[in-house]
Structure 1
């Protein structure tokens, strides 16, 4: 604070008393305000100024200083002191700055000769003024930033929210209220959790509490948010802590609608899963079952696949018989059993999907499917499982409808949408190559199996002997192959029993098997020779007719009868040895007559062996 200096007479040589003053001091005299004194503090601030010169000339170069001349005139005229605060002065100062601010007082003085003058006492307040201006500027910028933030919150599509250090909502969020329909009272604290999908509340809260505990620099979590219309969309929540020093004072977060991005990511993930699930599979049932487990539970709660018969023409008004060969359901729902034969009425939704080659999509009240959408058995399942929507999707492979995929959603889950149907269709389309190969393999299997079964004749009835055959194709071995057995009676009444296996488990192996079986029959009937010799001749024939094939075989002649007893003359070509089981349960392998397999060592002599068969014994031939 500047103290006013009362008017008094100042001796001409008494001004030195101000040399040690901690403020700037200058003195002028006369009506033209000639500068007669400046102290060191004054000179440090504004530089050394020429004495004896009027103010205008003495302070030349300091813009603003000159306009204060009128104040000097006023002091001399009125005799009253004047105080000025934070007066700006522009120009070159001793410290190089362009602008300084001074607070000063002007007081009248009288010299010893009676001439009057003015005493200037001032301090440089530039730093204080600059700091005050900076504070005001920052305050104004903060006010404007806050206004912009509030405007963005009101006008933007994102939800912005503020939470306490404990994670509870502490400020209203206009966009949250607009999007979810929740009021501030419903939203505050942890009430916002009630707007999340019930399945997402627990994992969201666990993730949020972990972020609060660890003070994560950025929290991110995706959940389903219930909109004001009751539907759900995926939102990405993000939040960061606001700190004062090392203390978190609040959390600020946003919620963004990411439904489209989530759908695209889910689509890519499901297509990858479907491709991975069917990779390396060859059996149709396995491929379709794998696709069912991709659809459930991601897209539906229940899924079944119905295989259509290989019929080139289907009468328009005839019911359609299909085989359910794959199915999957969510754990809580009734199971769909496979395999199962089903019939569909000519004008049912199922047949319409097959005929039109387009999906049939239906949404209905929970547990009340429309009549004709499915078979009676499936309609009962739809009611029991509280289904609310279903789609029947024809599976077109190589231009033909090979199967129909049905998918259903139950309970409070959102009904199947058109985008879900499109995604299922895309999944099936991506699986076209393995499905095509599997269908082709299945057709080949059926042809080969039919061929194989046609060659597996019923054993003859022999007095005093019972011949029994069992044949079960192995699913792991593609169901068909070169395994065969045969039993017949020669014109002489001698029973013949044979078993064999051609290398391979496909249609070519089955064809080779039929050729070897028929050749062996002809050789046995034509040549009344020991089994080893007959197999030698068969081996020679194979070198010409099947040069790249190999096979194993047992050929046995059963001579004698119930009265005289039976003896078995046999030869083994690389096949597992027969097993003899006596009537008392003792058992042993018959290791005689063993030779190389067929297809190698042509024209090499082959041996035979003889084994007497006791009453009540059993001989087992097997592959």
Structure 2
């Protein structure tokens, strides 16, 4: 820098400052655009050009007409311009290296030669070549475009020079227009106060790393407060000018990159939101939503699920909501645990739900207004010095099913309009997968309600314990196929049945109800030593004829009292074998010669009946594969584990009902639903069969 240009008030730019800059630079002076300077990089790109001549004589090739016109425009109105679509040198000038591609910009400057124009070019030959060879050089093209965007941003905004002492001078202005405060000659606390609180330490740390010995290129993207009070992302880039092995000064640029940063953020957030489609249930789906927006758009985000009936009828009635998911950024206190209990929310949240419009609330740090969120959440916001709450309704198929609450904490500034818009876009993007998760939950609940309504309590049997339990799967869709039944026949005998229908949905639950009812009728009408096989044969023909289910496995057992023992007869249609726990001795599976085919495969099949005698204290267990099936393992391993678990429960002296409950508890995290029904003689039945 030297004295101000005569009558302009603008510091003179010393052309030699660009001698070692890697981008081509040239300068002209006066209305005739006399070429007064070009650096080595410029000569490498365009060939030698004579200094001291008007630009129209120096750049006499036809392709330079646009460049000459831009020189006239920039010199005339003193407004910078740039060409972002690549131009091509023809290589006709003496010493020119041949056809090359470039983009350039022209900015008004004042040098010791008087007012003129600064021309900065960027060699984009690599990028253009990469585009033409995209199929084989796709990765190189991506890198070239990144370099192109970075370089273009470097010449499009503020240009500055920093001395080793920390003094900084603005070469190409714009700081005051952007921030609303005058240019600062040093990076002081007032300057750093314009940087977002979350970015200050990182900015200082990145600069110190670049300035360390040996110095390296400085690149940092951070948020600065604009003249309007909102924050925008800028990127500063600087390179050291070395003399004698030390950095004599730094030349840098600062450019507004908000649009590029926000586009990349949108892509990242939408990619995260894609994980919602893999969610198995509603809480997991909403948890994926909150994790997607923290920490980029909020310090904490929670989703409050509304009751199925929605808003209460009267405006004075309290709106209840359940905090179903929440995520906070690292460094904040641990969130209150999810209680899954509905809690009252305030009138502001109700207004958001009723209007279906988002709302931003700002307040002094640590002073969230009462009556917005449940008290437990409000207390946490007070402890974290929250400064704002954003409430966004989540609308699915014309109904508000939940609302999201995002907050800024630790004295963080409130989100700007662009942040609120992007938050709304992200929540809107997840409507379809959330709708699917909610529909799955409703279907599961319907199937579960139907199944539990049909799986009635077991009857009381004199001289024996009889107990049955059912447990839905831990995964949303896995519900509806397993069933059990028990029936006391007129002759005093007892039937036990366990079965599994292919499918895990509402259709499977409906088919189960039909099969169970039909088998009860058939079993009531069958008698004799071969009744189990005949009952399953008749059921097979009916199911096949009415096309009720695609595939069914079942074990049907008839237990007949006889003095001090019970005669057990059963037929197995492709189901895991019954487990016998003798009163004394090791457990064993009653497999016979193996099961017959499942139902709905070969209705004409002749089925077999197997027999065994039970004495007081023996336990017979029928179960579904949800108790023994573990992905990645063989069924025999699951059967061995089931027998061992049953033996441990028996040693503890557990009643039959407790034993069945323990077996189901051991399978709590399985992917399939599970059922078990057990029979244990306790004393002689008391009468002979008729």
Q: State the Cα distance separating 1:476 from its structure 2 match.
A: 2.3
Give yes or no for contact 2:511–2:549 (8 Å, CA) kept in 1: no
Q: Which residue of 1 is the match for residue 342 of structure 2?
A: 342
Structure 1 residues 232 and 334: alpha-carbon distance in aligned structure 2, compared to 1, 3 A threshold = same
What are the Cα deviations for residues 487-508 of structure 1, in whole angstroms up to 9, with x where unaligned?
Answer: 2212222222111110111111
Q: Matched residues in 1 for 2:194 and 2:207: separation? A: 15
Structure 1 residues 490 and 417: alpha-carbon distance in aligned structure 2, compared to 1, 3 A threshold = farther
Residue 591 (structure 2) pairs with residue 594 (structure 1): no
SS at match of 2:465: coil
Q: Which residue of 2 is the match for residue 614 of structure 1?
A: 615
What are the Cα deviations for residues 568-612 of structure 1, in whole angstroms up to 9, with x where unaligned?
Answer: 211111111111112246211110272111111112111111111
Structure 1 residues 231 and 443: alpha-carbon distance in aligned structure 2, compared to 1, 3 A threshold = closer
Pick from 160, 166, 170 the counterpart of residue 169 of structure 1: 166
Please say which of residues 529-538 and 256-265 is displaced more in the overlay. 256-265
Q: Which residue of 2 is the match for residue 441 of structure 1?
A: 440
Q: Matched residues in 2 for 1:214 and 1:147: separation? A: 36
Q: Which residue of 1 is the match for residue 13 of structure 2?
A: none
Structure 1 residues 429 and 204: alpha-carbon distance in aligned structure 2, compared to 1, 3 A threshold = same
Q: Matched residues in 2 for 1:146 and 1:614: separation? A: 112
Q: Matched residues in 2 for 1:308 and 1:583: separation? A: 52
Query: How do 1:161-560 residues align onto structure 2 when only pairs under 5 Å count?
Result: 161-164=160-163, 169-173=166-170, 178=176, 179=179, 186-187=186-187, 196-197=195-196, 199-201=198-200, 203-205=202-204, 207-208=206-207, 211=210, 219-225=218-224, 232-242=231-241, 249-274=248-273, 276-311=274-309, 314-316=312-314, 317-331=316-330, 332-344=332-344, 348-476=347-475, 478-529=477-528, 530-546=531-547, 549-560=550-561
Task: Report the structure number with the largest CA radius of gyration.
Answer: 1
Structure 1 portions without partners, runs of 5+: 1-139, 150-155
Q: Which residue of 2 is the match for residue 144 of structure 1?
A: 113
Q: Matched residues in 1 for 2:412 and 2:157: separation? A: 27
Q: Which residue of 2 is the match for residue 38 of structure 1?
A: none
Structure 1 residues 406 and 228: alpha-carbon distance in aligned structure 2, compared to 1, 3 A threshold = closer
What are the Cα deviations for residues 264-321 of structure 1, in whole angstroms up to 9, with x where unaligned?
Answer: 43233323322x3224335322221111101222212222222223327741243333
Structure 1 residues 243 and 146: alpha-carbon distance in aligned structure 2, compared to 1, 3 A threshold = farther
Q: Matched residues in 2 for 1:503 and 1:458: separation? A: 24
Structure 1 residues 461 and 168: alpha-carbon distance in aligned structure 2, compared to 1, 3 A threshold = farther
Give yes or no for contact 1:354–1:401 (8 Å, CA) kept in 2: yes
Query: How do 1:561-576 residues align onto structure 2 when only pairs under 5 Å count?
Result: 564-576=564-576
Q: Matched residues in 1 for 2:311 and 2:182: separation? A: 59
Give yes or no for contact 1:321–1:341 (8 Å, CA) kept in 2: no
SS at match of 1:222: strand
Q: Matched residues in 2 for 1:413 and 1:228: separation? A: 18
Q: State the Cα distance separating 1:560 from its structure 2 match.
A: 0.8
Give yes or no for contact 1:242–1:251 (8 Å, CA) kept in 2: yes
SS at match of 1:471: strand
Q: Matched residues in 2 for 1:177 and 1:313: separation? A: 50
SS at match of 1:448: helix
Give yes or no for contact 1:390–1:416 (8 Å, CA) kept in 2: no
SS at match of 1:391: strand
TM-score (norm 1): 0.68
Q: Which residue of 1 is the match for residue 91 of structure 2?
A: none
Structure 1 residues 380 and 233: alpha-carbon distance in aligned structure 2, compared to 1, 3 A threshold = same
Q: Matched residues in 2 for 1:532 and 1:194: separation? A: 85
Q: Which residue of 2 is the match for residue 43 of structure 1?
A: none
SS at match of 1:470: strand
Structure 1 residues 235 and 381: alpha-carbon distance in aligned structure 2, compared to 1, 3 A threshold = same
Structure 1 residues 231 and 398: alpha-carbon distance in aligned structure 2, compared to 1, 3 A threshold = closer
Q: Matched residues in 2 for 1:432 and 1:270: separation? A: 15
Q: State the Cα distance separating 1:566 from its structure 2 match.
A: 1.9
Q: Matched residues in 1 for 2:349 and 2:414: separation? A: 19
Q: Matched residues in 2 for 1:247 and 1:492: separation? A: 105
Q: State the Cα distance separating 1:451 from its structure 2 match.
A: 0.7
Please say which of residues 410-419 and 572-581 is displaced more in the overlay. 410-419
Structure 1 residues 339 and 549: alpha-carbon distance in aligned structure 2, compared to 1, 3 A threshold = farther
Structure 2 portions without partners, runs of 5+: 1-108, 119-154, 625-690
Structure 1 residues 366 and 555: alpha-carbon distance in aligned structure 2, compared to 1, 3 A threshold = same
Q: State the Cα distance separating 1:353 from its structure 2 match.
A: 2.0
Please tell me the root mean square deviation across aligned C-alpha atoms, in Å: 3.3
SS at match of 1:287: helix
Q: State the Cα distance separating 1:340 from its structure 2 match.
A: 1.4
Structure 1 residues 503 and 244: alpha-carbon distance in aligned structure 2, compared to 1, 3 A threshold = same
Structure number with greater CO (CA < 8 Å, separation at least 6) is 2
Query: How do 1:28-67 residues align onto structure 2 when only pairs under 5 Å count?
Result: none
Structure 1 residues 356 and 184: alpha-carbon distance in aligned structure 2, compared to 1, 3 A threshold = closer
SS at match of 1:361: strand
Q: Matched residues in 1 for 2:535 and 2:157: separation? A: 88
Give yes or no for contact 2:184–2:191 (8 Å, CA) kept in 1: no
Number of aligned residues: 471
Q: Matched residues in 2 for 1:315 and 1:585: separation? A: 64
Structure 1 residues 365 and 248: alpha-carbon distance in aligned structure 2, compared to 1, 3 A threshold = closer
Structure 1 residues 464 and 205: alpha-carbon distance in aligned structure 2, compared to 1, 3 A threshold = same
What are the Cα deviations for residues 342-398 of structure 1, in whole angstroms up to 9, with x where unaligned?
Answer: 2326x6222222222222331122222222112233322332333222122211111
Give yes or no for contact 1:327–1:337 (8 Å, CA) kept in 2: no
Give yes or no for contact 1:523–1:538 (8 Å, CA) kept in 2: yes
Q: Matched residues in 2 for 1:141 and 1:177: separation? A: 19
Q: Which residue of 2 is the match for residue 57 of structure 1?
A: none
Q: Matched residues in 1 for 2:512 and 2:236: separation? A: 67
